[in-house]
Amino acid sequence: MFLFRRNRPRVTVNEAHSRTSGDRPDAVLLDVREKPEWTSGHAPGAVHVPLTKLVAGGTLPAEAEGRPLVVICRSGHRSQQAAKILAERGVQVVDVAGGMNAWAAAGHPVVDERGNNGQIA
């Protein structure tokens, strides 16, 4: 799968959306922002685990275990850190350049904790 080659550690929001959306996504979108950011607005279907939890050695949610991951944060900085941590654990992972700011700017959906229109905080 071209998305996960070592020489391609980052993907665009459009690549991330196509790989993590639909009936049979190729990968799981993992949002590593903190809970207030997640609650305010995230991609539908994304799975949440804050970077602080990963840094502390926390495990992945069941939905993400054993699956290729596409990691996203607000701007792309924390997702790079998370991708490095996860790769060191043997996870097949890439991160999203531009993060949720670029996701929303590209017109991809953002929902809040109740499933209503969300905003990037």
For 120, list phi and psi in degrees, rounded to 5: -85, 125
Question: Residue 9 — very low, low, confident or very high, per pLDDT cuts 50/70/90?
Answer: confident
Do 33 and 95 form a contact (C-beta atoms < 8 A)? Answer: no
Looking at residue 113, its pLDDT comes to 92
Among 16, 1, 4, which residue's Cα sits nearest to residue 109? 16
Q: Is the predicted pLDDT of residue 4 greater than 60, yes or no?
A: no
Q: Tell me which of 3-7, 53-57, 71-75 is least confident.
A: 3-7
Do 20 and 12 form a contact (C-beta atoms < 8 A)? Answer: no
Looking at residue 5, its pLDDT comes to 42
Q: Is the predicted pLDDT of residue 61 greater than 50, yes or no?
A: yes
Spell out the alpha helix ranges (H) of the chain: 13-20, 35-40, 51-55, 77-88, 99-105
